[in-house]
């Protein structure tokens, strides 16, 4: 495996202490870039260590869903472009994990608000995926294998794989790694791929343990002592267990594509003519509905525990709760020096806390300027909190301004919002864990005044 890329000027390497709660009033998450002139090594250089050769493994990041559960925060952006920890984007975690596993061929499938993430991806350059030998490909599936739905999107992440089947088959990789782009994690994926190939599995599913209550919103995986998957429950009302699929998979490509086509014929009634084109809704839906159960029936699908922190942050409450976890020292994704979370963001000056400012258990991004009180919150780049203003239990994105005397509680403010002097936004939460109904969500470019009750949603560009 190859060494950690050095941090860009003005950043710090994470220490093993970052997983613990700090006594200091404010810290900020490091951002890593591959230095100019330094590229990640070619996978063939790591073949002797057990990794398959380049071209034998294709990685696919599924970043295309509309993200409707995030409401106003995804009206004008793809969900994977949402910030995390102030300076990162959600898609950073999947891309960084694949790069650190020495996978050179990485595709990103985009469907919704494509332009909102295209500039950020920069052709894969921040992750050193733009070099001539292998690299990055951005795909809009509906222009490839099959028509779009009425809303312009595939009918689930399993259906999306079917729509991309001709492209995947044409590439010719024996192994396909699939990751969702809206999860927070940082696991070494290289051994997972190696073990999958060596064992001749049809599917390897990374799993995480959650409460049974949370499991009902996920795909529950039941497995034997050796990890062999024995049953799959798709978002059950009464889960049999708390072990859930994290939407990180390794597939045998040939078996996967054959299974997708078989399911399409069975579920949609399409003629068995060998054609790859999907005709409307294939019926496959999300992976937990038909695809994973069918692969599990072969007896060669295995569940592997994901090590470290994992959370699906595709709902407002989960998004805020994950930031609370980060501030509480429960998120270890920035603690691996050999697997830094690589990001791409414009340079900003250092953050500043003025004489009248106070920060408690918060993260300040570069360019933040605090003259008021910030508590239990994450401030994005360039955020201004004026003297006498307060921000509590909130995520405040890039270039927002909180004017003097304003109070913001349990709120997610999208970028470039202004909270006017004296405004009262949100309320003290009544539940221990963040819940969608407790949060105020304010769309980007809004001007907020007066009182905004807990649970309110303000569309982008609102003026109250």
Q: Over the stretch 393-416, which tens digit does the pLDDT of each residue have?
A: 999 999 999 999 999 999 999 999
Cβ atoms of 191 and 271 within 8 Å: the answer is: no
Give the per-residue pLDDT at 275. 42
Residue 150 confidence (pLDDT) above 80: no
Mean pLDDT, residues 114-133 = 81
Domain 16-327 is classified in which CATH homologous superfamily?
Answer: Spore Coat Polysaccharide Biosynthesis Protein SpsA; Chain A (3.90.550.10)
pLDDT for 131 equals: 66
Contact assessment for residue 129 and residue 104, using Cβ atoms and an 8 Å cutoff? yes
**pLDDT confidence of 115, banded at 50, 70, 90?**
confident
CB atoms closer than 10 angstroms to residue 302: 22
pLDDT band of residue 32 (cuts 50, 70, 90) is very low
Question: Given this model, what pLDDT does residue 52 score?
Answer: 52
On average, the pLDDT of the chain sits at 84
pLDDT at position 5 over 50? no
Tell me: pLDDT of 164 over 60.
yes
Q: What pLDDT is stored for residue 190 in this prediction?
A: 96
- Asked if 113 and 74 count as a contact pair (C-beta separation under 8 A), the reply is yes
| Average pLDDT over every residue of 320-328 | 96
| Model confidence band, residue 283 (pLDDT cutoffs 50, 70, 90) | confident
Q: How far apart are CA 402 and CA 422, in angstroms?
A: 10
| pLDDT of 54 | 57
Number of Cβ within a 10 Å radius of residue 50: 13
Most confident of 18-22, 24-28, 277-281, 369-373: 369-373
- List, in sequence order, the alpha helices (H) in 290-409: 291-296, 316-327
Cβ neighbours of residue 212 closer than 8 Å, sequence gap 6 or more: 239, 241, 242
Residue 160's pLDDT band (cuts 50, 70, 90): confident
- Nearest 5°: CA angle at 270, between 268 and 272? 135
234: nearest Cα among 249, 219, 217: 219
Which pLDDT score, from 0 to 100, does residue 249 have?
Answer: 97
Q: pLDDT tens digit string along 176-195?
A: 999 999 999 999 999 999 99
CA 402 from centroid of its chain's CA atoms: 28
- Domain borders along the chain are 16-327, 352-458
Query: Exposed, middle or buried, 155 (CB in 10 Å: 0-12/13-18/19+)?
Result: buried
Per-residue confidence (pLDDT) for residue 223, from 0 to 100: 96
Instruction: Please enumerate in sequence order all residues whose Cβ is within 8 A of that of 365, keeping only pairs 6 or more positions apart, or say none.
Output: 28, 29, 86, 87, 348, 351, 378, 379, 380, 381, 382, 383, 398
Predicted pLDDT of residue 142: 54
pLDDT digits (tens, 9 = 90+) for 344-375: 877 899 999 999 999 999 999 999 999 999 99
- What are 422-445's pLDDT values in tens digits? 999 999 877 778 889 899 999 999
Is the pLDDT assigned to residue 48 strictly greater than 90?
no
Task: Evaluate if residue 41 carries a pLDDT over 60.
Answer: no
pLDDT confidence of residue 116? 81
Residue 53: predicted pLDDT: 54
C-alpha closest to that of 252 among 195, 303, 178, 176: 176
Residue 301: the pLDDT is: 97
In contact, 373 and 379? CB cutoff 8 Å = no
pLDDT beyond 80 at 92: yes
What DSSP state is assigned to residue 286? S
Cβ 362 vs Cβ 377: under 8 Å: yes
Query: Sorting pLDDT into bands at 50, 70 and 90, what band is 282?
Result: low
Domain spanning 352-458: which CATH class is it, in words?
mainly beta
User: Pick the residue with more confidence: 316 or 112?
Assistant: 316
273 pLDDT higher than 70:
no
The predicted pLDDT at position 425 comes to 98
Q: Which pLDDT score is estimated for 9?
A: 34
């Amino acid at each position: 495996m190859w060494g950690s890329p050095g941090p860009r000027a003005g950043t710090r390497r994470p220490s093993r202490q970052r997983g613990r709660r700090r006594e200091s009033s404010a810290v900020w998450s490091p951002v890593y870039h591959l230095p100019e002139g330094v590229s990640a090594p070619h996978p063939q250089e790591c073949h002797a260590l057990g990794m398959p050769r380049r071209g034998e493994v294709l990685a696919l990041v599924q970043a295309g869903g509309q993200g409707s559960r995030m409401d106003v925060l995804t009206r004008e952006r793809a969900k994977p472009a949402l910030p995390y920890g102030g300076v990162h984007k959600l898609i950073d975690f999947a891309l960084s994990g694949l790069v650190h596993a020495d996978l050179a061929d990485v595709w990103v499938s985009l469907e919704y608000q494509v332009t909102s993430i295209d500039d950020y991806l920069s052709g894969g350059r921040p992750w050193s995926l733009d070099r001539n030998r292998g690299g990055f490909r951005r795909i809009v599936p509906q222009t490839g294998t099959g028509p779009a739905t009425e809303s312009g999107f595939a009918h689930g992440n399993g259906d999306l794989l079917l729509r991309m089947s001709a492209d995947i088959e044409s590439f010719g990789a024996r192994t396909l790694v699939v990751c969702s782009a809206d999860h927070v994690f940082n696991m070494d994926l290289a051994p997972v791929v190696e073990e999958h190939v060596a064992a001749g599995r049809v599917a390897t599913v990374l799993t995480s343990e959650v409460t049974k209550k949370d499991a009902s919103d996920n795909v529950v995986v039941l497995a034997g002592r050796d990890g062999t998957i024995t049953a799959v429950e798709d978002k059950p009302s009464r889960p049999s267990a708390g072990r859930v699929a994290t939407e990180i998979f390794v597939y045998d490509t040939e078996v996967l594509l054959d299974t997708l086509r078989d399911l399409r014929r069975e579920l949609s009634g399409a003629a068995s003519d060998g054609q790859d084109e999907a005709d409307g809704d294939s019926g496959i839906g999300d992976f937990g509905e038909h695809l994973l159960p069918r692969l599990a029936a072969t007896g060669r699908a295995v569940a592997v525990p994901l090590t470290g922190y994992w959370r699906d942050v595709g709902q407002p409450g989960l998004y805020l709760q994950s930031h609370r976890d980060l501030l509480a020292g429960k998120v270890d994704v920035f603690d691996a020096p050999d697997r830094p979370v690589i990001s791409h963001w414009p340079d900003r000056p250092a953050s500043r806390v003025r004489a009248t400012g106070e920060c408690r258990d918060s993260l300040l991004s570069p360019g933040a300027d605090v003259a008021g009180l910030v508590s239990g919150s994450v401030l994005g780049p360039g955020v201004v909190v004026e003297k006498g203003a307060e921000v509590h239990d909130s995520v405040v994105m890039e270039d927002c301004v909180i004017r003097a005397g304003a109070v913001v509680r349990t709120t997610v403010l999208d970028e470039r919002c202004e909270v006017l002097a004296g405004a009262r936004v949100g309320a003290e939460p009544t539940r221990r864990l963040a819940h969608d109904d407790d949060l105020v969500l304010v769309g980007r470019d809004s001007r907020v005044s007066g009182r905004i009750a807990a649970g309110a949603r303000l569309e982008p560009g609102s003026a109250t």
